[in-house]
Amino acid sequence: MPTGDAAPDSQSQPHAGASSVSYENVTKRYEGSAEPAVDKLTLEVAAGEICILVGPSGCGKTTAMRMVNRTVEMTSGEIRIGGHSVRDRDPAKLRREIGYVIQQVGLFPHRTIAQNIATVPTLLGWPRERIRARTAELLELIRLDPELADRFPAQLSGGQQQRVGVARALAVDPPVMLMDEPFGAIDPINRERLQNEFLRLQAEIRKTILFVTHDIDEAIKMGDRIAVMREQGRVEQFATPAELLMEPATEFVEDFVGADRALKRLALMRVRDISLWVAPLATAGEPTAAVRAKLDSPEVEVRYPLLVDAARRPLGWLSERDLRAETVPERADSPLGPVLELDDVMRDALADLLQAGVQYAAVVDGAGAVAGILSVEIISEFLASPGAKQDELEAVERPK
């Protein structure tokens, strides 16, 4: 921890914290076009949350976002940040208090990384020493090697450049950030990394973020709440990712979320969220007759008992041969296979089952004790639950 003892932010933070953003009947009409680009948009974004504006191209989501920092001027309506109308502010001054990240990053190629990050602090006339300290702090926040500070953007990879873009937007600790497809130009593997990094960052900084994307998977992953938009900025549904997947409000949302939304829901669930099968447990030395009785219980779905130690930690599956003895042996005949945890994401758990080529696996709690059994059958029953069935029914009806 070489930088750990640096004084944590002794300077005053003029815009610390986050502010709410509210749209009230906001309309944008471009000159020469009959239809408004955004029509009477009303949306309430709570302080400190990531609000995703998602929708097909041309739905007005970027226009809606850009009206917040007045890079696009609204025709009518009102946008308030923390209760204050953006109309009352000088646009340039307003923008310095709102972080701005775009897909193409837009770093200044003729300025070093440090100078790029210092753009807004320099505009605000911060003293040199404060700028230097803040730049170092931000480089650490985005985990960029401080040696890169004096390089030029062309010397950095695309992912590094985008992280610098985020740092530059965070320089004066703005209460609101606008992000326009920030990871759209990054390859899938690095995008995943940057998304995770950004979520970790957001957990720390807790900004109010308006995040535009056309990618529903990214929306589900990144959003606290998602506004699904269609043409003219009409919000079809404004809900949490889970609500959006479980109860799409309209057909448009349902189509946009995709036929595989049931599968997508698995990404939002953990193993503990589903009811598991009861595990018939056996310990070494226990009479096999008692174990057989457990297997016959109506609530047990599996044919073999799970051998556990005194702390109920799983050791292996007992076979038919193991049960022929008087008492349960020390070692199980069949290997344990994959062991899942209650906190595993359901999608990953399913992947583990499929990869191991097994029908079910033991699930353990935080202490490693058996909590139940998860099977492919449980998951497929869940996928066939009413919400998912609706899709199938429609798929059948559509050809008419």
Partner 1 sequence: MSALGGLSGLVHPSLAAIGEVGEGFFKERTEGNLPCQARTSHLFCWDWATEHIDRYGTPTLQQAELVVISVIAGFVIAFALGLLAHRVRWLRPPLLAGTGILFAIPSIALFLLLLPITGRGRETAIIALTAYTLQIIYRNVVLGLDNVPGPVKDAARGMGLTSRQILWKVEVPMAVPEIIAGLRVATVSTVAIATLAVFAGGGGLGTQILGEANLTFPTAIVIAMVIVIAMGLFFDLILLTIQRLLTPWRRVRVV
Residues that bind partner 1 (CB under 8 A): 69, 71, 92-97, 100, 102-111, 119-120, 123, 151-152, 154-157, 165, 168-169, 178
CB of 120 to partner 1, least distance (A): 6
> How far is the C-alpha of 258 from the C-alpha of 296, rounded, in Å?
42
Nearer to partner 1, 122 or 250 (CB): 122
> How far is the C-alpha of 223 from the C-alpha of 235, rounded, in Å?
16
Which parts of the chain are beta strand (E)?
21-28, 38-45, 50-54, 76-81, 84-85, 98-102, 176-180, 208-213, 225-230, 234-239, 281-283, 306-308, 314-317, 339-341, 360-364, 370-375
Nearer to partner 1, 214 or 261 (CB): 214
CB of 94 to partner 1, least distance (A): 7
End-to-end CA, the chain: 67
Nearer to partner 1, 165 or 316 (CB): 165
CB of 171 to partner 1, least distance (A): 9
What phi and psi, each to the nearest 5 degrees, are found at residue 371? Answer: -110, -15
**Contacting residues for 143 by C-beta, under 8 A, at least 6 apart:** 163, 197
Nearer to partner 1, 46 or 72 (CB): 72
What phi and psi, each to the nearest 5 degrees, are found at residue 318? Answer: -80, 145
CB of 125 to partner 1, least distance (A): 13
Q: Answer yes or no: are the C-beta atoms of 260 and 347 closer than 8 Å.
A: no
CB of 114 to partner 1, least distance (A): 13
CB of 154 to partner 1, least distance (A): 5
DSSP 223-274: -SEEEEEEGGGEEEEEE-HHHHHH--SSHHHHHHH-TTHHHHHHHH-BGGGS
Nearer to partner 1, 97 or 218 (CB): 97
Q: Answer yes or no: are the C-beta atoms of 19 and 47 closer than 8 Å.
A: yes
Residue that the structure tokens 């239809």 belong to:
35
| CA-based nearest residue to 234, from 33, 36, 22, 30 | 36
Nearer to partner 1, 100 or 238 (CB): 100
- β-pairing, 76-81 vs 50-54, is unpaired
Cross-strand bridge partners of residue 91: none
CB of 371 to partner 1, least distance (A): 49
Nearer to partner 1, 98 or 307 (CB): 98
CB of 277 to partner 1, least distance (A): 53
Nearer to partner 1, 109 or 188 (CB): 109
